[in-house]
Chains A and B, each alone.
Chain A
Amino acid sequence: QVQLHQSGPGLVKPSETLSLNCNVSGDSVRNYYWNWIRQPPGQRLEWIGYTVYGGSDNYNPSFKSRVSISVDTSKNQFSLKLSSVTAADTAVYYCARSPTVLLRHFDFWGQGTLVTVSS
């Protein structure tokens, strides 16, 4: 059974970079597509982007050049970096898996991390 466990700070200062990790157990990060999704308070879920080992990343244009998602095979984890954060980036952030490039739903999720952007 695949399990995703998130880690990272719950408080980030404005203009700094938000960094979260998602550790994968039960399978290898060399397989599948690995996503980050967020949910601002009282708002709908918002897909941030995905990475795939040895392939091309795909990001939501809403985040322009602020976002980077990468895989670390040595730790079997993947990471999110979101730069120049503002209060609008306050949200619960989730990591999630997509089975294949053609099956792009999210079948396994991390537990979620509430990230608050505040000085």
Chain B
Amino acid sequence: DNVLTQSPGTLSLSLGERASLSCRASQSVSSSYLAWYRQKPGQPPRLLIYGTSNRATGVADRISGSGSGTEFTLTINGLEPEDFAVYYCQQSKSSPYTFGQGTKVEMK
């Protein structure tokens, strides 16, 4: 399986700051097959980014994705209250599709 490792585990930031989340894959992932999700307590994950850098419908342009190969990054500029949540990366280059263990963005 392609294991995805996210870092850091927890990010403590203030409103308005910039968040940078990392996702490292154990095997190369084509840029078409890397996605990011946000999950809040008691809710299903919400798709933010697909194909490494494409924003899903309705996602603010202060959220962006980048990367290639085995290293990918989700960046959130100007943190707003709704951004404090857990974020997961996911690959669908190879089956079984896998998720990272998550990064929690919490308010400092």
Q: Do A and B belong to a common assembly?
A: yes
- By a beta-carbon cutoff of 8 Å, the part of chain A in contact with chain B is 44-47, 58, 60-62, 94, 96, 98, 102-107, 109-112
Task: Assess whether B95 is in contact with A58, with CB atoms less than 8 Å apart.
Answer: yes
* Cα-based distance from A109 to B88 in the complex (angstroms): 15
Chain A residues with CB below 8 A from B99, complex form: 44-47
Closest 8 CB pairs of A and B: A104-B92, A109-B44, A105-B35, A60-B96, A45-B99, A105-B50, A47-B97, A44-B101
* Cα-based distance from A110 to B46 in the complex (angstroms): 11
Q: Which residue of A lies closest to B45 (CB)?
A: A109
Chain A residues with CB below 8 A from B95, complex form: 58, 60
- By a beta-carbon cutoff of 8 Å, the part of chain B in contact with chain A is 32-33, 35, 37, 43-47, 50-51, 56, 88, 90, 92, 95-102
Task: Assess whether B50 is in contact with A103, with CB atoms less than 8 Å apart.
Answer: yes
Chain B residues with CB below 8 A from A110, complex form: 44
How many CB-defined contacts (below 8 Å) exist between A and B? 53
Chain A residues with CB below 8 A from B33, complex form: 104-105
Chain B residues with CB below 8 A from A105, complex form: 33, 35, 47, 50-51, 90, 92
Chain A residues with CB below 8 A from B96, complex form: 47, 60-62
Q: Which residue of B lies closest to A60 (CB)?
A: B96
Chain B residues with CB below 8 A from A44, complex form: 88, 99-102
* Cα-based distance from A105 to B90 in the complex (angstroms): 8
Task: Assess whether A104 is in contact with B44, with CB atoms less than 8 Å apart.
Answer: no
* Cα-based distance from A109 to B45 in the complex (angstroms): 7
Sample of 15 further A-B pairs with CB below 8 A, known A45-B45, A105-B90:
A44-B88, A44-B102, A45-B88, A47-B97, A47-B99, A58-B95, A60-B97, A62-B96, A94-B44, A104-B97, A105-B50, A106-B35, A106-B47, A109-B46, A110-B44
Determine how close the nearest CB of chain A comes to the CB of B92; give it in whole angstroms: 3
Determine how close the nearest CB of chain A comes to the CB of B39; give it in whole angstroms: 8
Determine how close the nearest CB of chain A comes to the CB of B93; give it in whole angstroms: 9
Which listed residue, A45, A62, A109, touches B90 by the CB 8 Å rule?
A45
Task: Assess whether B44 is in contact with A112, with CB atoms less than 8 Å apart.
Answer: yes
